[in-house]
Amino acid sequence: MQIFSFSPFGYEGSLVTVEVDLRRGIPAVDIVGLADGAVKESRERMRSAIRNSNFEFPMERVLISLSPADLKKEGAGFDLAIALAVLGESECLKDGTQNSLIEENVLVMGELELSGKLRSVRGVHAAVSTAAAGGIMYCIVPSQNAGEAREVEGVKVFAADNLVEAFEAIHNRDVFTSRKINGGADDIPEGYEIVEGVLFPKQDEQFDFSLVKNQEKLVRALQIAAAGGHNLLAFGPPGCGKTMCLQRFSELLPALTVEQAYPVTRIYSLAGTLKPDDSLIRKAPFRIPHQTASIEGVCGGGVNCRPGEISLAHNGVLFLDEAAEFKSSVLQMLRVPLENKTITLCRAGRSTCYPAAFQLLMASNPCPCGNYGSSSKVCLCSARAVENYWGKFSGPLLDRIDIRVKVDNGEEEKTACNPCMSTSQLRISIADAVKIQRERQGKKNAELRPDEVFEFCKMDAKANELLKKETEKNDFSPRAVSSCMKLARTICDMEKIKLIGVKQVKEAVALRKVNGGLAL
């Protein structure tokens, strides 16, 4: 049996082999293999945990090797692996045989308390999936991390509460259990429901769209954005309801498929944000960073290349409220991940590539004071202030936003409070579109490549002629034309129409171009 542990770095991480040698000499514990302070301190935690668990600590000189030797090891997740390796080597030295231990290689993770109890550690799901890819199908983890570990199909897991249980497990393979994931249509997780053949999280009545009044245009745009995965910008005066509507957007998103959930769960495991007993994350992430977020906090970084907000929003949504208040460098950094769906971080000669296929939502005021374009209020901002305010976004970033919506606050038109469609009603068309896209190309319409746009976004002659006229009239870039075609394709999918017509093109162009006096 060989004991392995895991060193998290970036998205990939590395398996670490834990070896122990007992030799004659003055009793001491030495650790080699570029161990940081937390790993070196495991010598004392491990020694106390072994003795307090009624085991006999070896009186020989103990050499612990963590390989590969040139990989820096960090964190307290090596405690349990080191302790089991020491106890296993001590037992083998006494018996002169290894027959008492299971023969398979084992992944071990966990932080030890001095009493011998185990604490949860981060990165367990990532460690188990990496181990499974390397052929290691047995693992011992703290009971708090067992849920995420068992989500890796085929791996046999033992959930330990203390060192004694973990030591007994390496002598008996029968205590390891696995849970096979059923990704079929009949598998409905708790807290989810089926809508038109598509899995959705159960609705939160407090965030139902029927509570939104007089914002049919914005709600319709959000429905299309959810159906096709399109990026969206909503701008309007303060108090008009754009933040309230966009915060409800997560209610329109279908649940992640099992394939989509694996990388999301891995990222959250590496970030250490999984709660105890959490398993596979099936609900699409919805991240709302604060306006003071740094570029490292959004794109990721740090010593261990931790994931940033755009990676934590993978297969979900990144919502920037008051987007113009973010640093210009943060906003411009979004351009490449929006295009490539990944982000590469380089630190001290090492690099890692995180997935970052997120949907971008932004809400902003039309100017610093918020009254630009209003007929009932006076804008106090100079032309230069308005220009600088919108200059943070830049043309290349805005060109990647498929939907732009001007939101009114209802002051200009004194109308009755008309409720919008309920969430359950909105989900029906979204589910129809999502189902069609999954069967047709296996991806969202917003993610279609240029060659796929012309293959899947076919339109009749009148619709094609209308799009050409609107392109010349609004001076659309090639990317804008592609966005209009993808938006029209999404609208057709919501209506279960195969060929794009004039009606769909008109609505797509209206969503793409900007009115209200702002040339975005």
74-127 pLDDT per residue, tens: 888 999 999 999 998 887 656 555 555 678 899 999 999 999 999 999 999 999
276-300 pLDDT, tens digit per residue, is: 767 789 999 999 999 999 999 999 9
Cβ contact 66:33 at 8 Å: yes
Host domain of residue 157: 3-175
Q: Are residues 150 and 199 in the same domain?
A: no
Strand pairing class (286-287; 317-321): parallel
Tell me, what CATH number does 58's domain have? Answer: 3.30.230.10
pLDDT over 90 (residue 350):
no
Q: Are residues 171 and 210 in the same domain?
A: no
14-42 pLDDT, tens digit per residue, is: 999 999 999 888 889 999 998 888 889 99
Question: What gap in Å lies between CA 501 and CA 491, rounded to an integer?
Answer: 10
Q: Tell me whether residue 492 is in a domain.
A: no
Q: Are residues 169 and 209 in the same domain?
A: no
pLDDT over 80 (residue 388):
yes
Q: Tell me whether residue 247 is in a domain.
A: yes
Q: Are residues 163 and 228 in the same domain?
A: no
Average pLDDT over residues 320-332: 94
Q: pLDDT at position 1, please?
A: 80
Q: Are residues 164 and 212 in the same domain?
A: no
> What is the edge-to-edge ordering of all strands in the sheet holding 232-235?
286-287, 317-321, 359-364, 232-235, 403-406
222-256 pLDDT, tens digit per residue, is: 999 999 999 999 998 888 889 999 999 999 999 99
Tell me, what CATH number does 430's domain have? Answer: 3.40.50.300
Share of the chain above pLDDT 90, in %: 69
Q: Tell me whether residue 461 is in a domain.
A: no
Q: Tell me whether residue 155 is in a domain.
A: yes
Q: Are residues 154 and 270 in the same domain?
A: no
Which of left, alpha, beta for 414 (phi over 0: left; psi -120 to 50: alpha)?
beta
Q: Tell me whether residue 515 is in a domain.
A: no
The residue out of 401, 420, 447 marking a domain boundary is: 447
* Mean of all residue pLDDT scores within the chain: 90
Q: pLDDT at position 517, please?
A: 43
What is the reported pTM? 0.90
Cβ contact 106:138 at 8 Å: yes
Q: Are residues 244 and 345 in the same domain?
A: yes
Q: How confident is the model at residue 179 (pLDDT cuts 50, 70, 90)?
A: confident
Q: Are residues 233 and 106 in the same domain?
A: no
Structure token digits, residue 348: 């001290």
The residue out of 417, 447, 477 marking a domain boundary is: 447
Q: Are residues 208 and 74 in the same domain?
A: no
Q: pLDDT at position 279, please?
A: 79
Q: Are residues 246 and 392 in the same domain?
A: yes
Average pLDDT over residues 320-348: 92
Q: Which residues contact 374 (CB under 8 A, 6 or more apart)?
A: 237, 411, 412
pLDDT over 70 (residue 481):
yes
Q: Tell me whether residue 399 is in a domain.
A: yes
Q: Tell me whether residue 205 is in a domain.
A: yes
Question: What gap in Å lies between CA 518 and CA 372, rounded to an integer?
Answer: 9
Question: What gap in Å lies between CA 395 and CA 445, rounded to an integer?
Answer: 22
Number of domains in the chain: 2
Q: Are residues 120 and 233 in the same domain?
A: no
Q: Tell me whether residue 267 is in a domain.
A: yes
Q: pLDDT at position 372, please?
A: 85
pLDDT over 70 (residue 438):
yes
Q: Are residues 117 and 211 in the same domain?
A: no
What DSSP element (H or E) covers 307?
Answer: strand 306-307
Residue matched to tokens 């609208």:
491
The residue out of 414, 447, 480 marking a domain boundary is: 447
pLDDT over 50 (residue 183):
no
Q: Which residues contact 111 (CB under 8 A, 6 or more apart)?
A: 45, 76, 77, 79, 80, 118, 119, 120, 121, 142
Residue 516 burial (CB count, 10 A): 16
123-136 pLDDT, tens digit per residue, is: 999 999 999 999 99
Question: What gap in Å lies between CA 126 and CA 145, rounded to an integer?
Answer: 11
